[in-house]
Structure 1
């Protein structure tokens, strides 16, 4: 089978990681795979060099026709059996392109509960009939899109899958920690071996609501008597605003921005708590990754987070830093045996429901 994935870009977000993992897995299953991306520089790339990356050049609306012509040439030369688009721009683009160039099957997958404002929802609605199958990454998000009439009632839910060979609990000797932890974290742990590590991972954007986390950390300092350090891994357009808020809240000694990291599984393996403070999510891939690494999760109840976590970890309402701070404090002083049991249950849940292998099998049935 020839599969063409079309995606808005290949930055370091969860949706992009999902597509890269799917491409590698499909190629490993003996299928031919190519990825077309609309814009930007490809930060993420497949492990398999046989998977071709094709830049369409849709950096602004004025380049729509040029991007379509490049896409058309790819369709003509490759002749895919299935085109699977991901994220709003790629979904709308691939639907519109189908008016001029037919493809055997077009599947469109949304990855966020908020893929834009009313105009984007209208664009989804008006182009719905050009997609053979619409899907979202959580039941909650699927129903929301149906309610907004962005998707028809025939839309389906397919959960994202994670590569369990990459996300698992890693063990480190003390001297190994210096290889990937910031010196400030090492110094804090040397000064206080009981120092707790709190980790957040995700793009520095409005949807992830890092101010919610930072206000919670400010309150946590009065709720938790022992020392802790907070690490935030990720990059994005909100970095300057987040840096300023860290200074305004006088958290310079408590919070470290790590930037984009390739060793997220290692960070999750040594963290005591993983915190997701988002106001919007689709599936929340990082939550499943933290669960696979046996890191206790405290998360806001948005998008498909509850579906991922089940009865493991701790859920709190969105945009409530007081409750978030209290939840983190409760975890930091919880009985280690109870935390261990919850982490084991979380790991088992991910292995049973959210592996990339399960996702691949479900997609292959849909592609057929």
Structure 2
């Protein structure tokens, strides 16, 4: 049996890790987990309750790295894993360093960000390049990430393996009506309203600042419309709220947290996700989730969308940073909603073919086995 230790940082709850732990072939792989967080997490409780060996280590940033690295090194010497698989920046740096010091031959990290450091935190590129050097294998979650690793950072192309995220897609398709109505009641959304939904942190590169003006124009012609912004918090919140002043408060909702995200999708008539360039989004799971829920969607081609989204075939595509184009696609969708639903259904078929959880799990198992 192959022993694999996951080291994950700065995550409270993540279905992807819960699914991997549940569905990986336990006859071939023994999984253990090290979690680096400021405090305890929902993921820790879930893994512990599910019977996994899981260790939580407090980590509050760079000042803690030396001590945390030493503790992780000692844990590796005790567990003696065959493989260490790191996720997210602090875990990458600490896990790859400690596993190399511990003599672990197979050191993997999954690259969950794309151009973030290149654009906004240039000093972070040094850590990315160091991680590329320390790892024996790097999982790229999209071709965008693969290109950044190889072309921008000159990582060894032989190390880089393309493994997109996988999902339990049926969880987004099979949502009963009562859950949808409950979501609308919680957020004071009228059953008759045409719901335009966004799920995005309020940060500049997510492009929400181009959605609000498009909605304003659409609302002026279709007053029974509401804009629902979920996960609505972040460093660009002030700017977005300023734009929202041009819209009546009754016609938008700012929702910072929603537990039943599948019901939120099903409450939408249109979904919009428009990052500002092709490489800001590393993957963009909401592209997949919205189509898994069969919601007509307006997208820019960032992250994984560039790999499979096609205008008028499985979604409605707009150029980057273009409010007028977003409005035109909203008008097109509302004018012929039956056609928009047909396009969305094709999107559902496409994500089912490309992004099943089983496909991702098998790819990981093959990587661990190689």
TM range (shorter): 0.7 to 0.9
The answer as to 2:233 corresponding to 1:233 is: no
Query: How far 1:29 moved relative to its partner?
Result: 6.5
The answer as to 2:364 corresponding to 1:363 is: yes
Distance 1:227 1:44, change over 3 A: farther
Q: CA RMSD of the aligned region, Å?
A: 2.6
Contact 2:88/2:111, CA 8 A, preserved across alignment: yes
Paired residues in the alignment total 356
Q: Of 155, 161, 170, which residue of structure 2 is paired with 1:151?
A: 155
Contact 2:203/2:237, CA 8 A, preserved across alignment: no
Distance 1:151 1:317, change over 3 A: farther
Question: Which whole-Å CA distance do the structure 1 matches of 2:132 and 2:161 have between them?
Answer: 14
Instruction: Encode CA deviations 1:163-185: one digit per residue, 9 max, x unaligned.
Output: 12422142415xx6442224664
Question: Which whole-Å CA distance do the structure 2 matches of 1:229 and 1:363 have between them?
Answer: 41
| Unpaired runs of at least 5, structure 1 | none
The answer as to 2:134 corresponding to 1:136 is: no
Distance 1:243 1:80, change over 3 A: same
Distance 1:365 1:97, change over 3 A: same
Aligned residue in 2 for 1:301 = 301
Aligned residue in 2 for 1:220 = 218
Question: Which whole-Å CA distance do the structure 1 matches of 2:186 and 2:239 have between them?
Answer: 21
Question: Which whole-Å CA distance do the structure 1 matches of 2:247 and 2:9 have between them?
Answer: 37
The answer as to 2:262 corresponding to 1:265 is: yes
Aligned residue in 2 for 1:313 = 315
The answer as to 2:17 corresponding to 1:19 is: yes
Other structure's SS at 1:128 match:
helix
Aligned residue in 2 for 1:179 = 182
Contact 2:202/2:237, CA 8 A, preserved across alignment: no
The answer as to 2:77 corresponding to 1:72 is: no
Contact 1:134/1:151, CA 8 A, preserved across alignment: no
Query: How far 1:11 moved relative to its partner?
Result: 3.9
Question: Which whole-Å CA distance do the structure 1 matches of 2:27 and 2:298 have between them?
Answer: 36
Q: Provide TM-score, normalisation by structure 1.
A: 0.87
Instruction: Encode CA deviations 1:52-103: one digit per residue, 9 max, x unaligned.
Output: 4433333121211111122123212322222111223322322222342222
| Unpaired runs of at least 5, structure 2 | none
